[in-house]
Structure formats: C-alpha cells, structure tokens
A and B are shown apart, each in its own frame.
Chain A
Amino acid sequence: MAREYETVIGLEVHVELATKTKIFCGCSTEFGGEPNTHTCPVCTGMPGSLPVLNKQVVEYAMAVGLAANCQIHQKCKFDRKNYFYPDNPQNYQISQLYLPICHDGWVEIETEDGKKKVGIHEIHMEEDAGKLIHDDWEDCSLVDYNRSGVPLIEIVSEPDMRSAQEVIAYLDKLRTIIQYLGASDCKLQEGSMRADVNLSVREKGSDTFGTRTEMKNLNSFKAIARAIEGERERQIDLLEDGQAVVQETRRWDDNKECSYPMRSKEDAQDYRYFPDPDLVPVIISDEWIADIKSRQPELRTEKLERYKKEFDIPQYDAEILTSSKKLADIFEASAAICQKPKKVSNWLMGEALRLLKEHNQEPEDLNFSPENLAKLIQLADEGTINNKVAKEVFEKIYSENIDPKQYVEEHGLKSVSDEGALRSVIEEIVAANPQSVEDYKGGKKKAIGFLVGQTMKAMKGKADPGAVNKILQEVLEK
C-alpha cells in the first residue's frame, strides 16, 4: 500500500525596510545610484568606523512584530555573524541571534481548508550585504556597497505550514501587513521581500519531523509554489527509494523547475556569533511599545469592514480593494475627492486590474495620482466624454499619469452634445440610409442601432450616445 506523506514547511522571510537611511549610518537607501555612491566609512567597513543604530528600523520591526502578535524583547541586542565574503565589507554581518527584537507571535491565514494560525518564531533586525558584479570583459568581480547596510528584518515562522497554498497565504498575509504598516513595499521580484523555504516530509500521522532542506533563490509566489511541489516530490522519491534526505541548502532553478545542492550541513560554517561590542543593548520601554501601538495604522481586516459599511461596497470588491495598500490608498483618496466611491471602485476593479494583468504588474506598481482618476470620473459623469473615450483616457492616466481634463482638451475628445451640430449630422445620415429608415418605420426597431453606429462613426466616437439616440428618434418619428 502506498504510504501517505505530509509536507512540513517553515519560512524565513527577509524584508527590506523602507527607511530613508541605512541601519547603521546616514547613507541613503535609495535604489539605482551609481555604484558605491551611497556609501561612507561605516557601510564600506573602513577601519575604525562604528555603527550607530537607526531608530526607525527598531520602530518598523516593532510595528511588524506587534501586528503579528509577537512579544517584544524589551532589552534586545545585536550580534555579529562572522563569515568571509567580499559583499560583506566587515566580513561579519550585524544581526540578532541571542535576543531578537520580537518573538512568539502568529498570523492567521485562510485557505480553502479554512482558517489557521501560523506561528512566528522570531523577528530580528539585520543589515543587508553589497552586490557582486562579475565583469566578463575584464574577467574580474566588482563590488557595489550601495546596498550594504540597508536594513532588513528576518521573519522566522514555526514549521506550521503543510502545503504550497498555505505558504502563499502566509506570505500574502505578511506582505499585506507590512505594506499596510508602510514598513516595506515587499516586492518579491525586486528583492525587497525574499523567502527561504525549509521543507521536510513525514508519513502522515507521525509526530516527529523529517530531515529538512532549505531552498533559496525564490523570487515569485509561483516559483515558491513550484519549488515546494518539486522539493516535496524529490524528498518522497528519496524516501520511497529507501534513501535518506540530506540536510542541506538547495538552490531552486525556476526555469528548469528543479533544485541543486548548494552546501550540506557538513560544510555549514561556524558563524562564531557573539554580541557586537560596538552597539549598546536596545532598551524598549512600555511607553515606546504603547506609542508604536497607538500609531499603528488601520490594517486590512479593519479597513475591509469599514469599506463595506462606509461605502456600501460588496465583500468581494472590498477584499480586492484592500488586498493592496496602494490600491486601497488610491481608492480612498479618489473617493474623497469625487465623492463617488462606487464609481472609483468600478474603475479600479475593472480597468486598473485589467491593465495590471496586461502589463504583468502588481498593484504596488500603480503610479497615478488619485486626483486624476477623480477628475476622469467627473468628466465621464458630466457627459463631457463618453465611456469609450473615458477608457482610452484612463489608459493614459495609468501609463503616464496625465491630467485627464487637459488631455481631453488638447486631443479634442469632448463629446459633441451641441444639439444643432448633432442634428444636422443625423439628418444627413437618415437621408443617406433610406433602407434603414424604412426598416425602422416598418417595425424593425433594431435598425436604429445601425444608424447610431453610422452617426458615431461620422462623429469620430466623440458623440454622447444618449443624445444621439434621443435626436435620432425624434428625426425618425417626424
């Protein structure tokens, strides 16, 4: 009889915090500078330089911890993790091992199987490393320390997840919480959120864990799901074959959909962790915790309920709108300007999501100002532009954040509702299509559709369809 297996998964999630400056110096965290321009003696490991902790990092870490129901270590410390690599200028990373800032929390996830709590073992603060760039031309490696010292938090879950579906739900939950807190934009593709998957399998019903492997290089939800399936199958095949799973770190290749061993437990380095003597313990008072709690913004669940009540929006729509902080922010801001929440919701749920999908982007990539969406809704409502034109203009807002009013003016997209002009065009159309007029008068009411189409064509799409219908009927009834 075939044995049944259960997958046991725990996650280590690294999140780059959205601070303006690095964790231990005043350098900018901004992306895209020329190599080694956002650097100083501290983040390039110059002799004699010393780290000074950025308070904002502590506040973000605390905010995430509190939102994930964690306990706070009110005296937490930094430790040095010693290892040699050129992207790490001091050859040690400042991290937290012995007393991480947050511990013992949980988040609730929801899948087809219902609701479930996933435990958070700890959240700790640490610094990111620089980037190595291989120069094939010169056959040498270069290092850029712009990312060195960018603050990270690492969220370590308990091994509480049992399927790829649960993992995705967990990651989505974390991402939403962190985005709502403004602590990070959590973009997997750009690396501001990175997940390492620890996975083992065991026979169903067993209460001991199997040997686990750790998988790295997972940069999308889909890759994570595929890697979990792939690794689950690989481990089951080994066990079915009478072989043992080796505890090791593996690298997932999403193109080939398989993983390769990076290093085994035997080669695991001894990081010689010890408390960093250059940093003093972080003392977190009850008042500080209370202050962070009081400044905690409305999180998704509360926002969803409020949308349903305040804006009378259905559950499904509210879920979509609140799934991303960015989407929710645009919704609220636009609704506040034009006072038409339902219309704003329709635009976002319809056109905005369609375009995101088309461009393979995430809601966090939305780049237009709420004012422009509000103006567009105004223009459409007043009948200044018709629906078709409005959709065209929205695309422009989406891609270039144009001012719709100005754009409509400049491109002459205003609906022609000038009765006189419209009437004379319609009269011409009617005169040119006697057959249709006869059909209409003979009772084929559908024939009016053809005449409306012809009118719109003649008006180059700018006519107000309501007005066209009304005048056409008048002319035909004459």
Chain B
Amino acid sequence: MDVQSLTAVRLGEKIKKKELSAVEAAQAAFAQIAACEKTYHCYVTVEEEKAMEQAEQVQKKIDEGQLTGPLAGVPVAIKDNMCTKGILTTCSSRILGNFVPTYTAEAVKCLEKAGAVILGKTNMDEFAMGSTTETSYYGVTRNPWNPEHVPGGSSGGSSAAVAAGECFYALGSDTGGSIRQPSSFCGVTGMKPTYGTISRYGLIAYGSSLDQIGPVAKDVADCAAILEILAVHDPKDSTSVKREDTDFTSALTGDVKGMKVGIPRDYLGEGLDSQVKETVLKAARSLEFQGAQVEEFDLSLVEYAIPAYYVIASAEASSNLSRFDGIKYGYRTEDYEGLHNMYKKTRSEGFGEEVKRRIMLGSFVLSSGYYDAYYLKALRTKALIKQAFDKAFEKYDVILGPTAPSTAPKLGESLEDPLKMYLGDIYTVSVNLAGLPAMSVPYGIDSQGLPIGVQLIGDSFQEKKIFRAGYGLEQAREDQDLLAPVLRKEGR
C-alpha cells in the first residue's frame, strides 16, 4: 500500500516502528501535493521548507524518546482560519491576504506538542461562509472524487486534502456543518465535538457561539485519536470546558450491541435525495444487524433550525468581522479620502459577496427595532431546539441521519441561489445550535460515483457513543477503505 493511502494512526505506528521516518512521511505528502494540487487546489499556502525542517526536528525528538504519541511525525493540514505563527493565515479572504499571525492557535499548538508536522493551510469558503469552498478569494477547490464537483464547505480544502492524500489528516472548523458536510462530499470522516471541547483561541471567529474546531481524517479511529490530542482545557478560552472523559479511542470496540439509535423521521422527508436516504437506511440496518435497537422518531422544530442559525451566526459574524478595517493588519484600499471612506472602500473591496451578505444580514437583525423580532427570537428557537434534542437523548444513545440532503453538486450550481445553498445545511445546523457532538462517516457511493456520508449525533459530551457507533458502522461497511479514485489508482 502506498504511504498516501495510510490512515494517520497507521502512519504513526509505522513511524514509531521506524519503518518510516517523519521526514519520509512529509516527503510523501509533498509528492502527492506536487502531483494533485494543480487539479484540486486544496491549499492556500503550502509551507514545504518549514514543514521539512519541522519533520526533522520531530524525528529527532522521536528518536530521543521525547515524542511517543500515536500521531508523532504525522503530517497535517490546517484550515486557513486558524492562526499559525509566521505562516500566512487568510481565511481565504482578500482582506487578510497579507496577514501573518504573531501567535499560533491553541488547537494547532496541541497538535505540534503531539509531534504534528504542518504542511500548510487549506482552502475554505471565505471566513467559513459557504457550503462549497467556492467563495474563497483564492480560487475553488475541486472534489477528488470528481473535479467537476465541489468538495463542500466551508472546510472543503481540508476534506479534499485528506481525500486526495495531500495530507494524512486535517483540522477543520464547523459552525453549521462545515466539517461534516464536506467530509460527506469527499468521502472522509469528520467530527465536530461538543461546544467547548477544543479551544477556539486562535480560530478566527465566524459565529463564536457555534464555532468548533474538529478533525477531518480517513476513518473513525483517526478522528478519535486526533480528538484525544485536541480536547484540552484552555484558560485562554472562557467557553473551554474541563473534561476528564477524553480517552476517546477506548470507545473503538466494534461492539454496538444494545445501543439505542433514533432516526428523526423529519430528516427523511422532502428534499432528501433518494440515494442518500437509502444509504442512511442501509446504515440503520447494519447497526440493527449488529445488535443495536434502531427506531424512527419525531425530533420536531427541524424547519426552524436554518432561520435561527442564519440569524445567530450572521449577527455574531457582523460583529466579529468588524475588526477587519484596514487599520491594524490585512488589506487596505489604495486610494481614500479620510477615515470613513477608507473603512468603506477597504471593506467593500476586501470582502466577497457572501461575506458582505451575511454582515448586512447580521447588522440588520441586531439593529434597534429588529433585535427582539429576529435575534432574540432566534435565541429562543435555539433553546427550544436544544430541548428537543435533550428529550431525544433521554431515549437514544445516538441519532442517525443524513449529513447533507445530496451528494456534492457541480461547481457553480450553488452560488446562484444562496437560499437553496442555505437549505443544504438543514441536517447539520441544529447540532451547532444545540452545541452537540456529531460525526459524518462515509457509508456509500451514489450512481455518479460520489461518496455519501451518514451523520451520527450524540448528546453533549457523549462523543464516545458516537465513536462506538461510527466504528461499528465502519467495520461492517461493504467497501472497507472507501478511498477516492486518486488514491485507489495509485494504491492498488
């Protein structure tokens, strides 16, 4: 098997056994980047020189016995909305086109402590606003299963890079499905943990009360191992939670016997692609066959999740993105007269259409006279959605459903109708509103040859149940590896 096809954990084992060095692993990643990047464009910035240096240092520490973790020496790609000291961090926006942070995001620091080698920064929808990675100022990313199709978004660069073997795992961020949906579209596994599990310090905020960093990887075991490294309490993030139950890999038993699984009937109705639906039901049958109890139930309030999400996320974004003003860092317009004109031109030129749309929407819902009708109502809706999940989790260990209503659309299809694009988030946003953990696991391939992911949702802090069920699904899956064609061709 080719190095590029290895999961992060298997590569880590090989490095530990000295079958391969961290330097060779990084070289393999850069070889794949050289071969594929032109086609897929997963990265905004590739940092080969720095990465090779880091790989040497990491290997030295492994040899000296200072680095013993399961992922020591494994190369990683970081979504370009996480600050990396000395490495360009753009959020795929023109307005941060020259922004080189003076500090590193806490999540990235955790990985570095565990011996990660940072390959570069992955492409995304501008400021994580979008579902296709087409709103990036630096060009679109293409789906490794079919370059005519989008990789999903906003963590499309991370998901595509994992699928194409241009890294061994990646960090994404998920505000309304931005890890899970591209993972589903690219046939990789992506996990959004419980809000507060991974420090947001250094993650450039979109919707602060919803944003959460998470792993994107080739399989469930990788996600569990990565999350073990990332789930660290950080006093620099007031919303960071102290957790003791972070031995996630202990949940990879392959035994789902007795688990109670609920499928929201509301998730299987109108708007869901029939092949996706069939895949969800197939996953349900598999869990049942393995001894889990599976039943359908009414979750309710599903139709309110999208409006509530877009009101809250946009409101927070309108404030979060106000710091990009041309004063302190980033892009500043060339010609201007006075301060006001500078602000106006800088922001008009620096932000793309989708970002401006959400800033305007967010500013509107926070305006005096509209605050109660929109923002407060959205917050109340959020609380009710959380209650609906609480009720469901009194009965079920995990909820199973689709990650997205369809497989990856073709490039250019989504941007014409933003409302339609927003509706594509229907199965993912409520998880963020309720602060819950959820994972997308690849489970099938549609008639166009595009991957289909299924989503497992857990109660707060119940990631282990998700890993347990997800691992069970994965073990029983017909196509064990479910690799993108680009890796299959080379691998077999």
Contact = CB atoms under 8 A, between A and B. Distances in A.
B203 A278 contact: no
B363 to A, nearest CB: 6
Contacts of A434: none
A80 B321 CA distance: 13
Nearest to B99: A47
B97 to A, nearest CB: 13
B328 A92 contact: no
Contacts of B327: 86, 89, 143
A279 interface: yes
Contacts of A49: 201-202
Interface stretch (B11-19, B62-70, B234-242, B277-285): B234-242
A80 B322 CA distance: 12
Given A270-B367, A272-B363, A272-B367, A48 B105 contact: yes
Contacts of B82: 48
B462 interface: no
Contact of A47 (B83, B208, B239): B83
B201 A92 contact: no
Contact of B319 (A82, A86, A270): A82
Interface string B299-329: 0000000000000000110110011110111
A245 to B, nearest CB: 23
Contacts of A51: 238
B367 A52 contact: no
A394 B476 CA distance: 91
A48 B101 contact: yes
B375 interface: yes
A53 interface: yes
B204 A47 contact: yes
Contact of B237 (A50, A92, A272, A274): A50
B218 interface: no
B323 A272 contact: no
Contacts of A48: 81-83, 101, 105, 200-205
A45 interface: yes
B366 interface: yes
What secondary structure prevails in chain B residues at the interface with A?
A: loop
B236 A52 contact: yes
Contact of A41 (B103, B316, B318, B325): B103
A407 interface: no
Contacts of A280: 238-239
B411 interface: no
Contact of A278 (B204, B238, B367): B238
Interface in B338-385: 339, 343, 363, 366-368, 371, 375
Interface residues of A, number: 28
A73 B327 CA distance: 37
Nearest to A53: B238
B473 interface: no
Given A270-B368, A272-B367, A278 B322 contact: no
Interface string A266-282: 00001011100111100
B102 interface: yes
Given A41-B103, A48-B101, A272-B366, A80 B238 contact: no
A189 to B, nearest CB: 29
Most buried by A among B200, B235, B315, B323: B323
Nearest to A47: B204
Interface in B48-97: 81-83, 89, 91, 96
A179 interface: no
Interface of A is mostly: loop
A46 interface: yes
Nearest to B200: A50
Interface core residue of A47, A52, A92 (most chain B CB under 10 Å): A47
Contacts of B246: none
B209 interface: yes
B101 A84 contact: no
B368 A46 contact: no
B322 A82 contact: yes
Contact of A274 (B202, B319, B324): B319
A259 interface: no
Interface residues of B, number: 44
Given A274-B315, A279-B238, A47 B367 contact: no
B235 A52 contact: yes
B103 A278 contact: no
A44 B329 CA distance: 10
Contacts of B99: 47
Nearest to A52: B238
Contacts of B318: 82, 272
A37 interface: no
Interface string A403-419: 00000000000000000
Interface string B203-223: 111011100000000000000
A89 B324 CA distance: 9
A301 interface: no
A91 interface: yes
Nearest to B367: A270
Contacts of A247: none
B208 A86 contact: no
B103 A45 contact: no
B238 A89 contact: no
Nearest to B362: A272
B323 A91 contact: yes
A91 B325 contact: yes
A311 B404 CA distance: 81
Nearest to A84: B343
A220 interface: no
Contacts of A217: none
A278 B83 contact: no
A274 B371 contact: yes
A91 B343 CA distance: 11
Interface-central residue, A44, A143, A278, A280, by most chain B CB under 10 Å: A278
A28 interface: no
A422 B48 CA distance: 93
Interface string A33-49: 00000000100111111
A125 to B, nearest CB: 14
B236 A50 contact: yes
Nearest to B208: A277
B371 A84 contact: no
A454 interface: no
A278 B206 CA distance: 12
Contacts of A211: none
Given A89-B328, A270-B367, A277-B209, A46 B322 contact: no
B339 A50 contact: no
A218 to B, nearest CB: 26
A71 interface: no
B322 A92 contact: yes
A143 B205 CA distance: 24
Contacts of A270: 367-368
Interface in A263-321: 270, 272-274, 277-280
Contact of B323 (A47, A52, A273): A47
Contacts of B239: 277-278, 280
Contacts of B339: 86
Contact of A45 (B91, B105, B328, B343): B328
| Interface core residue of A53, A86, A272 (most chain B CB under 10 Å) | A272
Interface of B: 81-83, 89, 91, 96, 99, 101-103, 105, 200-205, 207-209, 235-239, 315-316, 318-319, 322-325, 327-329, 339, 343, 363, 366-368, 371, 375
17 contacts: A45-B328, A47-B205, A50-B238, A52-B237, A82-B319, A82-B322, A84-B325, A89-B327, A90-B323, A91-B322, A92-B319, A274-B315, A274-B316, A274-B371, A277-B208, A277-B239, A280-B238
Given A44-B328, A90-B323, A277-B207, 17 more contacts: A46-B101, A47-B83, A47-B329, A48-B81, A48-B202, A48-B204, A52-B235, A52-B236, A53-B238, A84-B325, A89-B327, A272-B367, A272-B371, A274-B315, A277-B208, A277-B316, A278-B238
In the A-B complex, the 5 residue pairs with the closest CB atoms: A91-B322, A277-B209, A272-B366, A277-B208, A48-B202
